[in-house]
Structure 1
Amino acid sequence: MHQPDPRIPHRLDAFAVHEAVDLGFSQHALRDGTLAAPTRGVRLPSAVGDTAHDLFAALLAVQRPRQFFSHSTAAMIHGLPLPRRIRLVPIHVASPSYTARMRRPGVVGHRIKARVVEVAGFAVESLEDCFVHVASELDHDELVVVGDAIVATGRSNRLTIGELTEHTEHFRGARGMSRVGRALGAIRVGSESPRETRLRLLLVRAGIPAPELQVVVRTDDGEFIGRLDMGWRALRVGVEYDGQQHRLEDRQYALDIDRHRRLQQAGWTIVRVTARDLDDGGRKVVQLVRAAIRRSGSGAR
C-alpha cells in the first residue's frame, strides 16, 4: 500500500483533559503551560511545534468511536497524490449519517455514509468513497491524477476503473457528480506519476490521439529494448517524462542514453519532456509531439 502523505504525522501522545488524572497529570500541570492545547479539551505533552500536526494528533484523542477521516485528509492518509495547495488543515472528520458532526476550529465536519477502513492505524473512508468526496476540492486534472493513482497496478489495494465507476452509481444525482463522471472517463491504468498523467491530459486536450501507456518495445527478434511512459506503437513515436533522477544519477543517465540509442535504431522517435518544458503551458511539447506524429505519417494537426 502507498505510504501516507508526509504531512500526516505519526501518532502523538495526545489525551483528553478528563483523562489527565488517570494518566498522572495534576490540575496544575493542565494550567501551567507545560502541556500544549491544540484544541479544546485536549492536551499534548509531546507537541512538535507544528500547529497542523498537533491539531491532527489532538483530534485522535477526541474522535468518537464511529468518526473517521474523509475528503483530502483521507486522501493524504491513503497516500494519494494531491496538489501542494491542499494543506493538512483544515482536517476533514466525518461522522455517520444522522449523528452529530465534529465542530472545532481547523476542522471541517461532515455527515456522510461511507465504507470505513483502517490505514496506517487511522480510520478513514475507503478509496472509492474518498475519490468521490475529494472531487469537491480538486479540478479536473487533479482528480484524474488521483484516479490514475487509485487504479495503478503498483497499489496493493488498487481498484479497477470498472469498480470505481460502479461505486459512483450510488451517488447518482448528487451535487458535483458531473465532475466525477468526466474524470472517470479520462482515468487510465499505466500512469506512474502525476506528471505523466498531466502530460497525457495535455496532449489529448490538444487533439492528439490518446497514447498507449507503458509501451513495451522489443527488437524484431523479440529482445527487450525498453518501456516508454506513453506512445503510439503503430507510428513508433514515444513520449518520456524525465524526472530529476534521470539527470542527477550518473548510472541512470548512462542507461537512458543507451536505451534511447537502441530505440532510435529500432525506428522509434522519442520526445523527451522535463518539468521546464511545461512552463509555457505545454505549447512547445504539443508542437514537438505533433511534429513527430506528422513525420511518422499521421494526419494529426
Structure 2
Amino acid sequence: MTERTPLPNGWADRAFRVGLCTALLVRMPPDAFFTHGTAALLLRLPVPSRFARVRAVHVGVPAPAPAMDRRDVVGHSLRIDPDDLVDRGPLRLTGPARTWLDLAALLTLAELVAVGDHLLYWESPVLTRGELADALARYPGRRGLALARAALPLLRTRSESPRESVLRVIIVLAGLPEPECNYRAFDPQGRFLGRGDLVYPEYKLFLEYQGDHHRTDRAQWRSDIRRIGRLEDNGWQVLQFTDDDLHDPAALVARIARRLRDRGWTS
C-alpha cells in the first residue's frame, strides 16, 4: 500500500531551486513569471524526478512580448490571465490550474493524471475539477490541450500517490474495469481487514503498488504481511506491483485480467 507522497523525487534540492529562481529575478522583465516545470517544482507538485534534475528555468512573459532569451532559461511568450498567477514569497509563477495545463505539453497522459489527482485529493484539495475545466476552456490554443482534455475525466479524488495514479490509468486505458481507490475491506463481522490502493470489491481483489519503503522499513514489512494474511484468510487476493511492472504495461494488464477472470469477471 502506498503513502501519500506530495513531493517529487529529487526535491532535496528545493533550496537550490528557489535560490536559483530568486537570483534570476534581477534579470527578468518586471512582468515575467515562472512557469511549466519550474512552476510545478515551486508548487511542490508530484512531477517526475527528471524535472528536478534539469537546471534550466522556465520563465514566461505575457504575449506578445518576446520570450526571455538567455543561458539556462527556457523562455515562453504566453497569453495569460493575471488571475492565473500566484506569488510564493518574492517569486511570481503560474497557479496550480494553469501549471497543470502547461504540463500537458511535457508529461505523458498517466503523469498528467497523477498531478491532477494530487490537486484534487479529497483531504486537502488544492482546486476543483471545475477550475481545471475552466482553464481548459479559457486557453483553447495551448500545446497539449488534447492530452489535458483526455486526462480530465480520468482524475479521481482519492488517489494517494503518483504511482498509484499511473497504475490506475494503465488499467483503465487497457479496457479493464476501473478499481476503487483506497478501499477499506471488512470481514462479515465488521472487523477491519485492510485498506488497498486499488480494489475490486466485487471480485475481492486488491492491487497494490509497493514502493521501496515497504521493503526497507521493517515495521512496514511486518504490517504488510499481517494485513495480507488477514485478507487471504477472508477470501481476498492481493496482487503487488513495483516500479518495474509499470514499465511493462502489457504484462501488468494481462496479469490483472487473468486474476479477474479467475474470480468471475467476463470481458
TM-score, normalised by the number of residues in structure 1: 0.76
- Evaluate the alpha carbon distance shift between residue 231 and residue 174 of structure 1 in structure 2; reply closer, same or farther with a 3 A threshold: same
For the pair 1:73 / 2:38, whether they are aligned, the reply is: yes
User: How far, CA to CA, are the matches of 2:90 and 2:7 in structure 1?
Assistant: 12
User: How far, CA to CA, are the matches of 1:175 and 1:198 in structure 2?
Assistant: 22
Q: Which residue among 62, 68, 76 is the counterpart of 2:27?
A: 62
Shift of 1:166: 2.6
- Evaluate the alpha carbon distance shift between residue 224 and residue 193 of structure 1 in structure 2; reply closer, same or farther with a 3 A threshold: same
Q: Is the contact made by 1:245 and 1:252 (CA closer than 8 Å) also made in structure 2?
A: yes
Q: Is the contact made by 1:94 and 1:111 (CA closer than 8 Å) also made in structure 2?
A: yes
**Match of residue 107 from structure 1:** 73
Give the superposed CA RMSD. 2.4
Between stretches 224-233 and 61-70, larger displacement belongs to: 61-70
- The amino acid of 2:154's aligned partner reads A
Higher relative contact order (CA 8 A, sep 6+): 2
Q: Is the contact made by 2:6 and 2:161 (CA closer than 8 Å) also made in structure 1?
A: no
- The amino acid of 1:72's aligned partner reads G
Q: Is the contact made by 1:239 and 1:272 (CA closer than 8 Å) also made in structure 2?
A: yes
Matches within 5 A, 1:233-272: 233-272=201-240
User: How far, CA to CA, are the matches of 1:99 and 1:72 in structure 2?
Assistant: 21
* Secondary structure at the counterpart of residue 230 of structure 1: strand
Shift of 1:98: 4.4
TM-score, normalised by the number of residues in structure 2: 0.85
**Match of residue 219 from structure 1:** 187
User: How far, CA to CA, are the matches of 1:65 and 1:173 in structure 2?
Assistant: 25
- The amino acid of 2:116's aligned partner reads G
**Match of residue 105 from structure 2:** 136
User: How far, CA to CA, are the matches of 1:160 and 1:57 in structure 2?
Assistant: 30
**Match of residue 182 from structure 1:** 150
* Secondary structure at the counterpart of residue 225 of structure 1: strand
Q: Which residue among 6, 28, 31 is the counterpart of 2:12?
A: 6
Paired residues, number: 256
For the pair 1:294 / 2:261, whether they are aligned, the reply is: yes
**Match of residue 252 from structure 2:** 285
User: How far, CA to CA, are the matches of 1:177 and 1:244 in structure 2?
Assistant: 34
User: How far, CA to CA, are the matches of 1:203 and 1:157 in structure 2?
Assistant: 24
Shift of 1:57: 4.3
Q: Which residue among 83, 93, 97 is the counterpart of 1:124?
A: 93
- Evaluate the alpha carbon distance shift between residue 3 and residue 252 of structure 1 in structure 2; reply closer, same or farther with a 3 A threshold: closer
Which has more radius of gyration? 1
Shift of 1:268: 1.3
For the pair 1:96 / 2:62, whether they are aligned, the reply is: yes
Between stretches 118-127 and 254-263, larger displacement belongs to: 118-127
Shift of 1:251: 1.1
Shift of 1:175: 4.4
Report percent identity of matched pairs: 33
- The amino acid of 1:223's aligned partner reads R
- The amino acid of 1:60's aligned partner reads L
For the pair 1:230 / 2:195, whether they are aligned, the reply is: no
Q: Is the contact made by 2:184 and 2:195 (CA closer than 8 Å) also made in structure 1?
A: yes
Q: Which runs of 4+ in 1 moved over 4 A?
A: 1-4
Structure 1 or 2: more helix by fraction? 2
For the pair 1:195 / 2:163, whether they are aligned, the reply is: yes
Structure 2 regions of 5+ residues with no counterpart? none
